[in-house]
Structure 1
Amino acid sequence: MTGESDDLSRLRDEIDQVGVSAAKRVDPGTGALVIAVAVFALLVAQLLPWAGAARGWEILLGEIPDGEVVGALPKMFAFASVIAGVLLSALSLILRRWALVWFCALGCFVASVSGVLSIWTQQTTTSHAPGPGPGVGLIVAVVAVVVLLVMWLRLAASRSGL
């Protein structure tokens, strides 16, 4: 009888371990495709002009063409969008951990706020006369980051109570 109860207790422990492991994982479902497309759009946006002739990757790497004035916010957005929008999103889709989903949501929130402010400063500041305004790449990047923000927040909020 004790051998049978030992087997049942080991089985119960194994089931508990599987439950704890499953509680740490997330399944994005069809949202993974939307996230992947938004990440791809963000990567394409890095190749497009953000401010005048300065492209996103040039702003990210600090290789801004001569004569172009790029403020601090587009630079901050370039870093935040690549870190939260590309790297953390890819890592979250690969590892599927709840903690990473929350980091993606928070990182995309910071990136989206800095992105919207980047567009605003490109339109309203007097640091460039006359300013080139936001480029198509900056606008595409901000839209992609906002889509990522919505998807990650939705996924993070979908977690049921433990």
Structure 2
Amino acid sequence: MLGPVSEEEYLRKEIDAVEQRAAKRIDPGTGALTISIAVLALLVSLVLPWIGDDTGLNVVLGESASFLPRLFSFFAFGIGVLGSGITLAVRRWGLAWVCALGLFAGSVTGVLSIWTQQTTTSNKTIGPGPGIGLVIAVIAVIVLLVKWVKIAASRPPQL
């Protein structure tokens, strides 16, 4: 027969439960401001030209652009804007890693998007060239990548 639970045991269980919940959460600290500014830069890049005269909104909606810029736009706005917003709201450690890994893929496709717009063959340009909006978006994604990796990697090890 089990006797009544002592107050000390009850408090120990409650403290352990709080500790487990806290271990799953992140504290972005001042990094949240940097993340917010980078997300704002991504949103501003929507109205700026990305490829030739096509704005970022045209690329996101698929009205124009080649495969890599469209793929980059999905990473930038899916993970960079929506993922960052959700992760800052719920502050889960696992989501911080999802953002970090997704933004790594986004930064690679972003740099490749710029490169494919600058590639030449026999002194003739293939593409219209990257616009300022695409460059700003890639820089913002790289800033977000650095911040999310730093936040995700800051979790203390579980013993």
Provide the TM-score with structure 2 as the length reference. 0.92
Q: Which runs of 5+ in 2 are unaligned?
A: none
> What is the rounded CA distance, in whole Å, between the counterparts of 2:134 and 2:62 in structure 1?
16
Q: Using the TM superposition, give the Cα deviation of residue 157 of structure 1 relative to its aligned residue in structure 2, in angstroms.
A: 1.2
Q: Which moved more, 1:129-138 or 1:116-125?
A: 129-138
The equivalent residue for 2:70 is: 75
Name which of 103, 107, 114 aligns with 2:109: 114
> What is the rounded CA distance, in whole Å, between the counterparts of 1:86 and 1:157 in structure 2?
20
Q: Which runs of 5+ in 1 are unaligned?
A: 65-69
Q: Is the 8 A contact 2:79 2:99 kept in 1?
A: yes
Provide the TM-score with structure 1 as the length reference. 0.90
Within 5 Å, give how 1:31-46 maps onto structure 2: 31-46=31-46
Q: Using the TM superposition, give the Cα deviation of residue 129 of structure 1 relative to its aligned residue in structure 2, in angstroms.
A: 5.0
Q: Using the TM superposition, give the Cα deviation of residue 131 of structure 1 relative to its aligned residue in structure 2, in angstroms.
A: 3.0
Aligned-pair RMSD on alpha carbons?
1.5
Partner secondary structure for residue 153 of structure 1:
helix
Runs of 4+ more than 6 Å apart: none
> What is the rounded CA distance, in whole Å, between the counterparts of 2:120 and 2:156 in structure 1?
45
Q: Is the 8 A contact 2:75 2:105 kept in 1?
A: yes
Q: Using the TM superposition, give the Cα deviation of residue 125 of structure 1 relative to its aligned residue in structure 2, in angstroms.
A: 5.1
Q: Using the TM superposition, give the Cα deviation of residue 63 of structure 1 relative to its aligned residue in structure 2, in angstroms.
A: 2.0
Q: Using the TM superposition, give the Cα deviation of residue 105 of structure 1 relative to its aligned residue in structure 2, in angstroms.
A: 0.2
> What is the rounded CA distance, in whole Å, between the counterparts of 1:115 and 1:13 in structure 2?
48
Name which of 73, 82, 88 aligns with 1:87: 82
Asked if 1:156 corresponds to 2:148, the answer is no
> What is the rounded CA distance, in whole Å, between the counterparts of 2:31 and 2:39 in structure 1?
12
> What is the rounded CA distance, in whole Å, between the counterparts of 1:48 and 1:86 in structure 2?
17
Q: Is the 8 A contact 2:52 2:131 kept in 1?
A: yes
Q: Which moved more, 1:6-15 or 1:112-121?
A: 6-15
Letter in 2 for 1:23: A
1:80-133 deviation per Cα after TM superposition (whole angstroms, max 9, x unaligned): 10011001000010000000000000011010000000000000056x856321
Partner secondary structure for residue 50 of structure 2:
strand
The equivalent residue for 1:53 is: 53
Identity %: 55
The equivalent residue for 1:67 is: none
The equivalent residue for 1:144 is: 140
Name which of 98, 102, 105 aligns with 1:103: 98
